[in-house]
Structure 1
Amino acid sequence: MIAFNRAANTQSAQSLAEHISHAAEQLQLHGFDRYYNAMVGAYVSEVYKTLNYPSFANATNRAQAPLTSLEQAVIYTTLYGKSHFDRFSEVIAQIMGKNKRSEAIARTINIVDYGCGQAIASLALLSYLEKYVNWENFTLNFHLVEPSRTTLDLAVLLVTKMSSRIAANVVIHQYNKSLSDFLEYDSEALATADYSMHLFSNVLDIDAVQQQIPSLCKYLHSIEGKQMVIAVGPQYSNNYQGLQQLKRSLNDVTVKQDVADFSIESEIYSIKNNHWQHSASYGVMMGLCFKNTLSDKNIKIAA
């Protein structure tokens, strides 16, 4: 069983950790849908008795503040995990295409998941690659940036489990930091790669993240080689603002997918009604590509 370093040493916490470990095993064996079902089971069996939605929303500023407990992580997944996964999966497929690539090509890819939460965007990317790409000779360097230690531990576990389903060489780098600290202290973290993919899932609507966009763009242009930015979020006004701000602040980019609305059908568990329901998930998306050719390999991010 996976040990979570911040869980209290109580029978209830141990039972919840066992549920989460079981859910992670379901992800490894069967994929995200079965993982989500198991996390809903953890909510129904354990969490609903001790944490209701108003308390969760108040403690986490409606899920915009870093999560601080496994209970919060489980209720977050139950509320949003399936719709977030389905939205990001749809956007990846739309930007990268649904043609199966059977040729075994050697590639090294950096994946930076900003404010990764439980790494749902990274899991959607892994699921896409598993379905459409022969990645036998791939090396995937995941860089998971997340200020919540509890959530980051879970993200590392889930990417590890999902990665075990495929034959690629996977390396996980974890940064228990805010975006501002990551940009300040880890600006040279990415090694040389054929591609670097930058994933933004439900983070560009956050004020603190939007304040970092000028520094973020300098960072994105400091990375050698081909870059791809994929950004997805719900249809909130702050999300449109964040996506447009990032697009304007980058330069010399190819717009693979302009800022646009979309929707995807999801089967989710309703905490309010205590039953499963078929629901439309509405999102906004953007995909950008560009290539950096750097003469100075030691380029720094300006303060």
Structure 2
Amino acid sequence: MIISSPQEAQIQIRFFEDIYKPKIEKLPLLRDVDIDHGRRVLNTEAECDKYIALYGGHHFHKLYAAFPSTNFHYTEGKSVEIIDWGCGQALASCVLIDYLIEKRISPKIESITLIEPSSIALWRGYSFVRQILQPAFSNNSRIQTVNKCIDNLNCSDFVSSYKNIKIHLFSNILDVEDFDLNKLYQLIINSFSGFNRIICTSPYNNKRNYRIDSFYQLFNEHTIVKNSFYSDEAISQEIFYNNTGKFKLSRIQRYERQFLIKI
């Protein structure tokens, strides 16, 4: 007989089974035209559900493929801040927490900062993160919501400690051409002292991949970049197909950069 550890026994909420699937199983046939292929600010619950159904699986698999390159075991027992930029419904934060649960890595998550211009998506993201934090992680994790476009952010929107490890998540956002990368770079430099791990994932798009490269180069030219990783290798995973209402193995294109900086 296999006896679960106390930590395993506490694990109840997982992203794929408890957040992703329930949102897609009863949806009608969907088209992504009215959400501009996932790039438009969402205004309704229906649009939020549609986004999760059409793109939630892609987020999940691209991030799960990216996270091993960070080797999160170094965060075990350490204080961590998660900053989720252009978070939408906080799928990236939820998938990161899910990954830590699966790998039995237990950092002390001091705070999760969710940044998003859509108030309805932000509220749903807050609810999803609160759901997946329990009971595997502490009740004391602070979730901060910032209801702004990235260009409108300033240093006063963030509370950060030099002592904490910062994990910045950019999932399907840097390829959106609606904000100034140099301004974002300056904001990070001025707001987050100490160790910062920056994880950037995106769909592969020849016309917009340059933005991830440009963002990386801003840090590479002005700060010491370590542990950098790059990939444009597609992955094959099961995602939900709206036209059939079933999961099917699919080739998911991606573009990814990760790096560590000390500010």
- Shared fold by TM > 0.5? yes
> What SS class does the counterpart of residue 142 from structure 1 fall into?
strand
- Cα deviation, 1:15-55, whole Å, max 9, x if unaligned, reads xxxxxxxxxxxxx83412213221112314xxx4xxx41xx
The equivalent residue for 2:70 is: 95
**Are positions 1:81 and 2:50 aligned together?**
no
Aligned residues: 248
The equivalent residue for 1:13 is: none
Q: TM-score, normalised by structure 1?
A: 0.75
Q: TM-score, normalised by structure 2?
A: 0.86
Mapped to 2, the partners of 1:182 and 1:133 lie a distance apart of 34
Is contact 1:239-1:284 (8 Å) kept?
no
Mapped to 2, the partners of 1:30 and 1:138 lie a distance apart of 18
Is contact 1:229-1:287 (8 Å) kept?
yes
**Are positions 1:225 and 2:208 aligned together?**
no
The equivalent residue for 1:24 is: none
> What SS class does the counterpart of residue 232 from structure 2 fall into?
strand
Shift of 1:238: 4.1
Is contact 1:183-1:216 (8 Å) kept?
no
**Are positions 1:36 and 2:20 aligned together?**
yes
The equivalent residue for 2:205 is: 236
2:46 aligned to 71, 79, 83, which one?
Answer: 71
> What SS class does the counterpart of residue 229 from structure 1 fall into?
strand
Amino acid in structure 2 at the alignment position of 1:189 = V
Shift of 1:289: 0.6
Shift of 1:164: 0.4
2:97 aligned to 123, 126, 137, which one?
Answer: 126
Is contact 2:171-2:200 (8 Å) kept?
yes
- Whichever of the two has the greater Rg, that structure is 1
User: Which structure ranks higher in relative contact order (CA pairs < 8 Å, sequence separation ≥ 6)?
Assistant: 2
> What SS class does the counterpart of residue 22 from structure 2 fall into?
helix
Shift of 1:119: 1.0
Shift of 1:273: 3.5
The equivalent residue for 1:267 is: 238
TM alignment of 1:143-158, pairs within 5 A: 143-158=113-128
**Are positions 1:290 and 2:261 aligned together?**
yes
Mapped to 1, the partners of 2:207 and 2:172 lie a distance apart of 10
Mapped to 2, the partners of 1:194 and 1:286 lie a distance apart of 22
Is contact 2:48-2:121 (8 Å) kept?
yes
- Cα deviation, 1:227-261, whole Å, max 9, x if unaligned, reads 11000011012441111110111132324344320
**Are positions 1:142 and 2:112 aligned together?**
yes
Mapped to 1, the partners of 2:44 and 2:76 lie a distance apart of 42
Is contact 1:233-1:239 (8 Å) kept?
no
Mapped to 1, the partners of 2:122 and 2:101 lie a distance apart of 23
Identity, in percent, stands at: 20
* Cα-Cα RMSD: 2.2
> What SS class does the counterpart of residue 16 from structure 2 fall into?
helix
Structure 2, gaps ≥5 residues long:
1-10
Shift of 1:140: 2.8
The equivalent residue for 1:204 is: 174
The equivalent residue for 2:142 is: 171
Mapped to 2, the partners of 1:73 and 1:115 lie a distance apart of 14
Instruction: Out of 72-81 and 30-39, give the one that drifted further.
Output: 30-39
The equivalent residue for 2:181 is: 213
Mapped to 1, the partners of 2:20 and 2:82 lie a distance apart of 23
Is contact 1:227-1:289 (8 Å) kept?
yes
Shift of 1:104: 6.2
The equivalent residue for 2:8 is: none
> What SS class does the counterpart of residue 43 from structure 1 fall into?
coil
Is contact 1:183-1:215 (8 Å) kept?
no
